[in-house]
Amino acid sequence: MMTGGYDLAVVGAGIVGLGAALAAVRQGKKVVVIERNAKAIGASIRNFGFITVSGQKAGAHWERAMRARDVWAEIVDEAGIAVVHRGLVMPARRSEATAVVEAFLATSMGEKCRQITKAEACEIVPSLRLGDVQSVLYSPHELRVESSEALPKLAAWLEARHKVDFHWNTAVRSIDGTRIETSHGPIEVEAVVVCPGDDFSTLFPDVIGKHALTICTLQMLRVAPNRASRFGAAVMSDMSFARYEGFSALPEAEALGRRLDNEEAESRAAGIHLIAVQSADGSLVVGDSHVYGNAQQPFASDRFDQLILDEFDRVFDLPERHVVNRWIGTYASSKERTVLVERPADHIRLVMVTGGTGASTGFALGEQVIDDLYGSTSRSWEIGQ
């Protein structure tokens, strides 16, 4: 039997699980994290490392993104995690996209955002093509980290600084009351937070099955410019205005969606929009596509890659750029909610981000779940969709 007098076991060492672990140790709990793999290998490291605020769904989810961004900012220095760049630049090439920019700025979510000039945009990201751009939205909120480096550093920091125990290569087979059966023996704890990612069948499959979740498969690229090109912020495009719910739910976005359906029907059908962020070595992480089904799509589509790169070339003046790496990511998806929190028992919480925004909201969701689990009143906001 694994012992240690733990208050809480967290099943899953992705960003949602680590967010719950951090929130728990900040409340003085002794925590163990149990992960079936030797390290985090899922959605938490296959993403942009882009902590996105502007564009998140209005209400509870946008508030989660704001809070999660603050938590990232609090811990990056202590955990040795580099912030590669900050902020977000969104050039609007179509008049309908400019209408979305103006409508967004009139909402409470746009309070600290602003329109910037083409010259200002060029100062931040010199490689932008700005000839046909009609307006540019700038958001100051975002952070960019390298996920494949940030997640291991975050786990190591939790272990060293907060005395969180990690059991890697350990599968959880069942949870019976306060007893967790693992591949390395049972463990007794007072409470459990289960963060299964896109695994719908191992733990609490009946609970998960009630929610008609699907698995989203996405394709991403690492692109090397042929010449040095500094990114002072992340970049998204018109396609993102029509996809991210904080923009697309605005009435003004309907006209943009119709125009894109006409002009970019193939890309829209593949769920393609553009995000481009920079790594410390100057290369760019670029994506992505979105295909939904009951399982991961095992084979990448060369056509999807080309469609992503076509939009990239419309937005950036980086001739002779070349792809140096490609990969597939997956995440749990729901048409009805951005997060899923279930209570299989009073002392158990099942937690999933169901919209691909774990890096952007996981820390805040972890705080909400721990508050809910322990009946804390330290924050008045509740777990919402």
pLDDT in tens, 251-270: 999 999 999 999 999 999 99
Q: In the prediction, which pLDDT does 158 show?
A: 98
Q: Greater confidence, 47 or 194?
A: 194
Residue 261 is predicted with a pLDDT of 96
By residue count, the chain amounts to 385
The whole-number pLDDT of residue 262 equals: 96
Helix (H) or strand (E) holding 66: helix 60-79
The pair of three-digit structure tokens given for residue 232, joined into one six-digit string: 């002072």
Helices (H) and strands (E) in the chain, counts: 12, 19
* Strand duo 50-51 + 214-224: pairing: unpaired
Residue-level pLDDT at 377: 55
- Confidence at residue 374, expressed as pLDDT on a 0 to 100 scale: 93
Cα radius of gyration rounded to whole Å, the chain: 21
pLDDT tens for each residue of 46-65: 888 999 999 999 999 999 99
Q: Where are the domains of the chain?
A: 1-84+145-211+336-385, 85-144+214-333
CA distance 256 to 94: 8
1-84+145-211+336-385: in CATH 3.50.50.60: yes
Q: What is the pLDDT of residue 370?
A: 97
On average, the pLDDT of the chain sits at 93
Which has more pLDDT, 2 or 212? 212
Q: What is the pLDDT of residues 95-129, one digit of tens each?
A: 999 999 999 999 999 999 999 999 999 999 999 99
Please give the structure tokens belonging to residue 375.
């009946």
Does 380 have pLDDT greater than 70?
Answer: no
- What pLDDT is attached to residue 375? 87
- For residue 200, the number of C-alpha atoms closer than 13 Å in the C-beta half-sphere is 22
pLDDT at 3 (0 to 100):
62
User: Residues 141, 112: contact at Cβ < 8 Å?
Assistant: yes
- 348 SS3 class: strand
pTM: 0.93
Of residues 13 and 296, more confidently modeled: 13
Whether 379 shows a pLDDT value over 50: the answer reads no
138-192 pLDDT, tens digit each:
999 999 999 999 999 999 999 999 999 999 999 999 999 899 999 999 999 999 9
Mean local confidence (pLDDT), 29-39: 94
Q: Is 159 exposed, middle or buried (0-12, 13-18, 19+ CB in 10 A)?
A: middle
Q: Is 3.30.9.10 the CATH classification of the domain at 85-144+214-333?
A: yes
CB atoms within 10 A of CB 271: 17
Percent of the chain at pLDDT exceeding 90: 88
* 75 has pLDDT over 80: yes
What percentage of the chain carries pLDDT values higher than 70?
A: 97
